Chains A and B, each alone.
Chain A
Amino acid sequence: MSGALKISLTRRYRFAASHRLHSPRFSHEENLRLYGKCSNPYGHGHNYVLGVTITGPVDPDTGMVANLGELDPFVEREVVEAFDHKFLNEEVAEFRESVPTTENVCREIYRRLKSFPAARLERVRIEETSKNSFEFAGESAGVEQRKP
Chain B
Amino acid sequence: MIRVTRKVEFSAAHFYHNPSFSAEENRRIFGKCNNPHGHGHNYVVEVTVAGEPDPATGMVLDLKELKEILQREICDRMDHRHLNYEVPELAGQIPTCENIATVIWKLLEPKITQGKLDRVRLYESPDLFADCTADSNGSGR
Contact = CB atoms under 8 A, between A and B. Distances in A.
A130 B18 CA distance: 39
A138 to B, nearest CB: 12
B140 A56 contact: yes
B135 A4 contact: yes
Interface string B85-104: 00000000111111101100
Q: How large is the interface on A (under 10, 10 to 19, 20 to 34, 35 or more residues)?
A: 20 to 34
Interface stretch (B35-43, B46-54, B124-132): B124-132
B134 A6 contact: yes
B98 A63 contact: yes
Interface of B: 16, 18, 20-21, 29-31, 93-99, 101-102, 105-106, 109-110, 126-136, 138-141
Given A7-B98, A122-B140, 17 more contacts: A2-B105, A4-B141, A5-B102, A6-B135, A6-B141, A7-B130, A10-B128, A10-B130, A56-B140, A62-B96, A63-B99, A65-B98, A67-B29, A68-B128, A69-B29, A69-B31, A120-B140
